Amino acid sequence: MNPMFQRFTDSLGMGVQQPDSWRQSTDAKGVTVAWAKLTKSEQLLPFAKQIDELGGRLSTITAYQVSPNFEIAYHFDLDGSTVTAIVVLAQDGAKVPSLTPVFLNADWNEREFMELYDIEVVGHPNPRRLFIDENISPAVLQRYIPFSDLVNAASTKSLWEKIMNSRGEH
């Protein structure tokens, strides 16, 4: 186990809120991966600050919907060891603190999941949308949109025609 990762695990519960669950494994080459479950969004910032103070970095953030909740997976690197902190959020009034004061690279990931889901990132310095027009209602990934509506049935029709032609059934 690398020393940076060991210092981080030693610090859990000592100034840093203990995660609700923790599991880790180390492979034959000594690479350690760990998963922490945080059921309160208030646990995230102290967790991330501790990683930053040890010299770790934020690799990426992934938000996804697991009914009836959202989960946001924060993937950190501690000198080659990976720690993924999963924050569980209720769908109604989902709020999570911004990590941009600690890790500037959180900016675009946070802005992306703000526009795709109904998740508020509290304290984000630039909460405007990245890609989706302001005239489109928020939380586009939370709505069911039939594929044929999405592509105006054009792609589905041409694909079906190709299949029929390949079978000799015009």
What's the CATH number where 32 sits?
Answer: 3.30.460.80
Q: Are residues 17 and 64 both part of a single domain?
A: yes
Q: Are residues 113 and 68 both part of a single domain?
A: yes
Q: Are residues 18 and 59 both part of a single domain?
A: yes
pLDDT of residue 70: 92
Q: Are residues 81 and 100 both part of a single domain?
A: yes
pLDDT of residue 11: 83
Q: Are residues 13 and 90 both part of a single domain?
A: yes
- Segment 9-17 shows an average pLDDT of 70
Q: Are residues 134 and 76 both part of a single domain?
A: yes
Q: For the chain, what is the domain count? A: 2
CA distance linking residue 42 with residue 38, whole number of Å: 9
Q: Are residues 83 and 44 both part of a single domain?
A: yes
Q: Are residues 63 and 89 both part of a single domain?
A: yes
Output the pTM of the full model.
0.80
Q: Is 83 left (phi over 0), alpha (psi -120 to 50) or beta?
A: beta
Model pLDDT for residues 44-83, shown as the tens digit of each residue = 999 999 999 999 999 999 999 887 899 999 999 999 999 9
Structure tokens at 135: 């005239």
| Listed residue (86, 78, 33) closest to 59, CA to CA | 78
Structural domain range at position 12? 3-138
With cut-offs at 50, 70 and 90, classify the pLDDT of residue 16. low
pLDDT mean across residues, the chain: 86
pLDDT of residue 154: 55
Q: Are residues 97 and 155 both part of a single domain?
A: no
With cut-offs at 50, 70 and 90, classify the pLDDT of residue 127. very high
Q: Are residues 99 and 167 both part of a single domain?
A: no
- Segment 131-148 shows an average pLDDT of 73
